[in-house]
């Protein structure tokens, strides 16, 4: 309010001066500030932000004073007191801004832009400055010592830049005094031209009014200056992700107002001073990823306000501090990977708001207290790798928000709680490497979201409950090294999402292997060794297309091995020590080799057999020759262009459990009539086919010409090869493919709602996609890409992620489609190819290098995620947004205006988290982009530091 009044008042005064006889020389007030600003503007070229900044000569009464310019604020006297151009996409330097012209400046806010170059050393002339925020730019500078002059500054944020401190004075004794002779000494060279990491200048301790000091994410090294302890008004101190070393200064104990202290990810060492316990206002304390030793500060929650505490990945030893036990405010706690000791039952209390606690890999002993059941909001509980004994308390099954439970590698005994199935949100359960006994509870089938289950290396007995077959999302199942007996329930074959590993080895399982296991077509590794399994290896195992490792050794299996390339080429050890396995492969005896087995006593018999075999072989040979010449004759008559497509000349259907025929498809699409066409793409048309039995498919037809161009065949084969190896709930299902001389087509799952691009482009559709659905869509695409990049061997790069290639199911779930340009990323082959992809989504590096990596997909994903948030392709916004991770971009400015803003705080947090993740993903530097796996994991767990 006062600001507005001020502005209008100053304008009025100004106009009055204009109207009055020019006794005060009003028209040509020598406006140093305007001149300095215009000079700065000139250095930017033509950027629209500065449209309102015009020279007095061309200005009229309304724009003459800089006080009316965008981002400039004046006081009543017409002096510039604030320059605020945060988030404006400013691209340039501040080296040309003459700070000496702004003696009244109070605020300078240029955060989140693309500023480069140095911070001018005369910044120290802004002697009234109170607020300086240059964070999230690319400033490449030493921190000017003159900053120490700005004694009135209360907020100083230069985080996320390429700023460094002063050189270590002991290395360069006179580093700060220029050589009188003017010779470029080594020191001066270093000072002027390169940015070796430097120290945080001790002089910062002069800024007595500082309330916020953020230097994180730049390039400071060396010790933390003890003078920071003088900043008694500090509430926020961010020194994370630097290369700081040495101890935490004892003087920090005087920072009584400190709420937030970030020291994580540095090389700090030594004991954490007890004096930190004096910080009675602490809400957030991050000490993780340093080399601290000794005890955790005993009064860490002395003020009773601590919410977020991390000390993981250090060498802390000794007991859990008493003050933590009663710290009811805790929300997140990370203490993993230390040497902490003590009794876990006695040292922890009840934390009603706790959502995340990781105590893994310490030396905690005692038993798990039933109290953990009272921490009702826990989503993650990990205490792996300790010495915890006793039983798993039944109360733990009350944690109905739990997503991850890991108690592995302890000394837990007794049974698995029978009610474990109540943990219905659980994604990951690991109890491996304990001394658990008794049966696997039948209720485990209630874990309908479970993706990973590891009960290996225990003393579990009894049968594998068939209810396990209800955990339909399991990707990884390990029950090995127990005493499980009886047969393998055939329902295990329903776990079609199994992918990483099915390990039932080292048990006492008996009976035949259920042929239903052949349905596990995504499974990569199967271990059934060291059991008492008998009978044949089911021939359905030849359907296990994804297998890369198998072990069936040490059983009583017999008969032929399945007829598939994988089984033909697997190592013989995988089948050793069985009753009577045979197959056409080294290390096994061939099947049907009855005569060698019957011994060689009867020579006549052998002669007869040999003669008979020779005769039949020659007949076979003649038949083959005849067939070959016939085929050759035919193929000469056929179109000469067929090339390699010829091999799939017959209709092939994979993965499809109903029966349908080529003819049915022709009928269902009325012989590919235009009325059935639902989409046209670069190389293909898509048809909707309603089969006689009511099923609906999308048929993607690549060409109907007799002459199939090689390009098409290539694209077709790429798609087939990539897709048949992909099985994921966020990837469009491929049921079958057909390569017939006149038609090349793929049979897909039909996606009722069409593409994301289509639905976002109309207002009704956009409104239907509320924030919850949009978040799910982004997550779905992230999971699909993570799967392609990190779970496929070799990894698959999509290359053309865009909103056109993300389809939606009837429940508006995302399914990634169109792998026309995808190619198996074979590490041996070159990844340099022509640019593929959709304009506006293609990563910038492809414009000059053409090196296709997973990071190109990450870029396109970032664009897509932003598009889902904003409602249309974010084109210009992307050039505006800077690449660095940033928490503070205006959410309201970007969200799709067709939706009302998110109601709950929760979902607003989620959206800004997503926004920041998207921004990280389209970082221009591929190396700085996260991997899809980490994106996918972060989206799932939603843990932010």
Ligand X SMILES: *[C@@H]1O[C@H](CO)[C@@H](O)[C@H](O)[C@H]1NC(C)=O
CB of 506 to ligand X, least distance (A): 41
User: Do residues 281 and 258 make contact, with C-beta atoms less than 8 angstroms apart?
Assistant: yes
Judged by CB under 6 A, the residue of 25, 46, 48, 60 near ligand X is 60
Backbone angles phi, psi at 789, to 5 degrees: -80, -35
Residue 5 burial (CB count, 10 A): 10
Residue 776 to residue 778: CA distance in whole angstroms: 6
Of 176 and 629, CB closest to ligand X: 176
CB of 807 to ligand X, least distance (A): 32
Max intra-chain CA distance, the chain: 136
User: Do residues 218 and 162 make contact, with C-beta atoms less than 8 angstroms apart?
Assistant: yes
DSSP character string of 467-504:
GGGG-TT-SEEE--SSEEEEPPPGGGGG-TT--SEEE-
3-class DSSP state for residue 867? helix
Q: Which two tokens stand for residue 824?
A: 């198996």
Count of residues interacting with ligand X (CB under 6 A): 19
Q: How far apart are the first and last CA of the chain?
A: 36
The C-alpha angle 648, 649, 654, rounded to 5 degrees, equals 50
Of 162 and 542, CB closest to ligand X: 162
CB of 330 to ligand X, least distance (A): 8
Of 284 and 533, CB closest to ligand X: 284
| Residue 48 found at the interface with ligand X (CB under 6 A) | no
CB of 102 to ligand X, least distance (A): 13
Element holding 605 (H helix, E strand):
helix 603-637
Listed ranges 55-63, 232-240, 528-536, 837-845: which one lies at the site for ligand X (CB under 6 A) = 55-63
Of 46 and 592, CB closest to ligand X: 46
Q: Assess whether the previous peptide bond of 149 is cis (omega < 30° from 0).
A: no
Sheet containing strand 685-690, edge to edge, reads 651-652, 734-739, 744-749, 696-703, 685-690, 677-680
CB of 160 to ligand X, least distance (A): 10
Judged by CB under 6 A, the residue of 9, 17, 56, 63 near ligand X is 63
Residue 413 pairs in a beta bridge with 435
| Residue 195 found at the interface with ligand X (CB under 6 A) | yes
3-class DSSP state for residue 372? helix
Residue 472 to residue 420: CA distance in whole angstroms: 17
User: Do residues 422 and 446 make contact, with C-beta atoms less than 8 angstroms apart?
Assistant: yes
From 347, 800, 857, 896, the catalytic residue: 800
Of 52 and 233, CB closest to ligand X: 52
Taking residues 124 to 163 in sequence order and writing x for each that binds ligand X by CB under 6 A, - otherwise, the string is xx-x----------x-x-----x--x------------x-
Listed ranges 56-64, 390-398, 492-500, 656-664: which one lies at the site for ligand X (CB under 6 A) = 56-64
Of 136 and 912, CB closest to ligand X: 136
CB of 95 to ligand X, least distance (A): 15
3-class DSSP state for residue 460? strand
Nearest to 200 by CA among 173, 172, 238, 236: 238
Of 138 and 295, CB closest to ligand X: 138
| Residue 104 found at the interface with ligand X (CB under 6 A) | no
Q: With the CA atoms of 376, 382, 386 and 387 taken in that order, what torsion angle do they form, in degrees rounded to the nearest 10?
A: 40
Q: Which two tokens stand for residue 422?
A: 């109540």
Restricting to residues 344-363, name those near ligand X by CB under 6 A.
Answer: 352-353
Backbone angles phi, psi at 334, to 5 degrees: -130, 110
CB of 112 to ligand X, least distance (A): 15
Judged by CB under 6 A, the residue of 62, 151, 762, 887 near ligand X is 62
| Residue 243 found at the interface with ligand X (CB under 6 A) | no
Q: Which two tokens stand for residue 6?
A: 């001020």
Residue 83 burial (CB count, 10 A): 22
Look at the chain and count its residues. 945
CB of 129 to ligand X, least distance (A): 11
CB of 397 to ligand X, least distance (A): 18
Of 189 and 626, CB closest to ligand X: 189
174 given a catalytic annotation: no
Taking residues 2 to 41 in sequence order and writing x for each that binds ligand X by CB under 6 A, - otherwise, the string is ----------------------------------------
Of 146 and 411, CB closest to ligand X: 146
Residue 558 to residue 578: CA distance in whole angstroms: 7
User: Do residues 745 and 699 make contact, with C-beta atoms less than 8 angstroms apart?
Assistant: yes
3-class DSSP state for residue 869? helix
Give the nearest residue (CB) to ligand X.
124
Of 244 and 645, CB closest to ligand X: 244
Judged by CB under 6 A, the residue of 197, 298, 341, 377 near ligand X is 377
Residue 236 burial (CB count, 10 A): 19
| Residue 487 found at the interface with ligand X (CB under 6 A) | no
Tell me the Ramachandran region of residue 63: left when phi exceeds 0, alpha when psi lies from -120 to 50, beta otherwise: alpha
Judged by CB under 6 A, the residue of 328, 391, 758, 898 near ligand X is 328
Residue 166 pairs in a beta bridge with 199
CB of 197 to ligand X, least distance (A): 9
Q: With the CA atoms of 879, 881, 885 and 886 taken in that order, what torsion angle do they form, in degrees rounded to the nearest 10?
A: 170
CB of 5 to ligand X, least distance (A): 21
Of 63 and 540, CB closest to ligand X: 63
| Residue 218 found at the interface with ligand X (CB under 6 A) | no
CB of 375 to ligand X, least distance (A): 9
Judged by CB under 6 A, the residue of 47, 188, 281, 329 near ligand X is 329
DSSP-derived secondary structure letter, 101: G
Q: Is 779 annotated as a binding residue?
A: no
Residue 567 to residue 574: CA distance in whole angstroms: 10
User: Do residues 421 and 445 make contact, with C-beta atoms less than 8 angstroms apart?
Assistant: yes
Of 190 and 653, CB closest to ligand X: 190
DSSP character string of 612-666:
HHHHHHHHHHHHHHHHHHHHHHHHHHS-TT-GGGGGG-SEE--S--S---HHHHH
For 507-554, strand residue ranges (E) read 508-512, 525-527, 532-536, 549-551
User: Do residues 464 and 440 make contact, with C-beta atoms less than 8 angstroms apart?
Assistant: yes
User: Do residues 737 and 701 make contact, with C-beta atoms less than 8 angstroms apart?
Assistant: no
**Residues assigned a catalytic role:** 800
Residues that bind ligand X (CB under 6 A): 60, 62-63, 122, 124-125, 127, 138, 140, 146, 149, 162, 194-195, 328-329, 352-353, 377
**Which positions make up the binding site?**
701
**Which positions make up the binding site for ATP?**
701
């Amino acid at each position: 309010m006062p600001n507005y009044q001020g502005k209008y008042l100053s304008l009025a005064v100004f106009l009055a001066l204009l109207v009055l006889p020019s006794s005060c020389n009003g028209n040509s007030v020598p406006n140093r500030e305007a001149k300095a600003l215009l000079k700065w503007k000139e250095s930017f070229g033509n950027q629209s932000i500065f449209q309102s900044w015009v020279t007095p000569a061309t200005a009229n009464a309304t724009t003459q004073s800089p006080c009316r310019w965008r981002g400039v604020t004046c006081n009543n006297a017409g002096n510039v007191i604030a320059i605020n151009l945060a988030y404006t996409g400013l691209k340039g330097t501040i080296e040309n801004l003459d700070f000496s012209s702004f003696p009244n400046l109070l605020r300078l806010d240029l955060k989140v832009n693309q500023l480069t170059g140095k911070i001018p050393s005369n910044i120290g002339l802004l002697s009234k400055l109170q607020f300086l925020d240059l964070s999230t730019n690319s400033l490449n500078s030493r921190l000017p010592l003159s900053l120490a002059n700005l004694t009135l500054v209360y907020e100083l944020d230069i985080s996320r830049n390429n700023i460094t401190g002063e050189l270590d004075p002991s290395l360069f004794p006179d580093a700060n005094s220029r050589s009188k002779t003017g010779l470029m000494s080594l020191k001066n060279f270093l000072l002027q031209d390169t940015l070796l990491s430097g120290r945080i200048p001790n002089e910062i301790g002069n800024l007595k009014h500082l309330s916020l000091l953020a230097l994180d994410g730049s390039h400071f090294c060396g010790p933390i200056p003890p003078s920071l302890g003088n900043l008694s008004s500090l509430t926020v101190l961010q020194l994370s992700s630097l290369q700081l070393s040495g101890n935490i200064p004892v003087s920090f104990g005087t920072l009584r107002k400190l709420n937030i202290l970030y020291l994580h990810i540095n090389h700090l060492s030594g004991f954490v001073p007890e004096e930190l316990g004096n910080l009675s206002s602490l809400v957030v304390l991050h000490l993780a990823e340093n080399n601290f030793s000794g005890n955790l500060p005993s009064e860490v929650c002395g003020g009773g306000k601590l919410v977020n505490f991390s000390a993981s990945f250090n060498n802390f030893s000794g007991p859990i501090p008493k003050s933590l036990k009663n710290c009811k405010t805790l929300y997140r706690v990370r203490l993993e990977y230390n040497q902490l000791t003590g009794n876990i039952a006695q040292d922890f209390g009840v934390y009603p708001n706790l959502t995340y606690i990781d105590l893994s890999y310490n030396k905690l002993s005692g038993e798990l207290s039933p109290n953990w059941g009272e921490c009702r909001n826990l989503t993650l509980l990990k205490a792996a790798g300790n010495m915890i004994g006793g039983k798993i308390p039944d109360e733990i099954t009350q944690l109905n928000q739990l997503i991850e439970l890991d108690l592995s590698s302890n000394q837990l005994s007794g049974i698995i709680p029978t009610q474990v199935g109540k943990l219905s949100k659980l994604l990951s359960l690991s109890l491996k490497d304990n001394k658990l006994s008794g049966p696997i509870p039948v209720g485990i089938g209630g874990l309908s979201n479970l993706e990973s289950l590891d009960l290996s290396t225990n003393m579990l007995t009894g049968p594998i409950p068939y209810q396990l077959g209800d955990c339909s999302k399991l990707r990884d199942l390990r029950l090995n090294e127990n005493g499980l007996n009886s047969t393998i329930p055939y329902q295990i074959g329903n776990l079609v999402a199994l992918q990483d590993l099915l390990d039932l080895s080292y048990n006492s399982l008996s009976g035949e292997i259920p042929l239903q296991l052949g349905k596990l077509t995504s499974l990569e590794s199967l271990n059934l060794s060291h059991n008492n399994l008998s009978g044949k290896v089911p021939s359905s195992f030849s359907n296990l297309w994804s297998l890369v490792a198998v072990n069936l050794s040490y059983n009583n299996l017999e008969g032929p091995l399945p007829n598939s390339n994988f089984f033909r080429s697997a190592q013989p050890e995988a089948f050793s020590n069985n009753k009577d396995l045979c197959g056409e492969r080294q290390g096994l005896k061939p099947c049907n080799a009855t005569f060698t087995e019957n011994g060689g006593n009867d020579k006549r018999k052998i002669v007869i057999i040999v003669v008979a075999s020779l005769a039949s072989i020659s007949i076979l040979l003649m038949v083959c020759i005849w067939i070959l010449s016939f085929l050759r004759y035919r193929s000469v008559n056929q179109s000469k262009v067929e090339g390699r497509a010829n091999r799939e000349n017959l209709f092939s259907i994979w993965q499809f459990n109903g029966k349908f025929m080529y003819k049915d498809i022709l009928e269902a699409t009325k012989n590919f009539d235009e009325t059935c066409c639902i989409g046209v793409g670069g190389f293909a048309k898509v048809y909707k086919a309603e089969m006689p039995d009511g099923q609906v498919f999308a048929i993607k037809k690549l060409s109907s010409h007799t002459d199939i161009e090689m390009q098409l065949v290539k694209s077709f084969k790429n798609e087939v090869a990539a897709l048949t190896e992909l099985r994921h709930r966020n990837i469009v299902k491929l049921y079958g493919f057909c390569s017939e001389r006149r038609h090349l087509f793929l049979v897909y799952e039909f996606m009722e709602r069409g593409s994301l691009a289509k639905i976002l482009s109309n207002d009704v559709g956009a409104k239907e996609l509320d924030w919850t659905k949009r978040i799910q869509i982004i997550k779905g695409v992230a999971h699909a890409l993570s799967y392609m990049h990190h779970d496929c061997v070799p990894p698959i790069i999509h290359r053309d992620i865009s909103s056109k290639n993300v389809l939606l199911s009837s429940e508006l779930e995302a399914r990634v489609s169109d792998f026309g340009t995808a190619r198996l990323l074979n590490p041996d082959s070159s990844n340099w190819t022509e640019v593929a992809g959709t304009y506006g989504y293609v990563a910038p590096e492809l414009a000059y290098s053409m090196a296709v990596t997973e990071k190109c997909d990450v870029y396109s994903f970032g664009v897509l995620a932003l598009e889902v948030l904003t409602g249309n392709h974010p084109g210009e916004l992307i050039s505006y947004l800077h690449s660095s991770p940033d928490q503070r971009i205006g959410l309201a400015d970007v969200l799709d205006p067709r939706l009302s803003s998110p109601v709950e705080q929760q979902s607003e947090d989620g959206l800004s988290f997503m926004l920041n993740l998207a921004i990280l993903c389209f970082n221009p530097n591929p190396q700085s982009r996260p991997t899809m796996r980490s994106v996918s994991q972060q989206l799932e767990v939603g843990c932010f530091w």
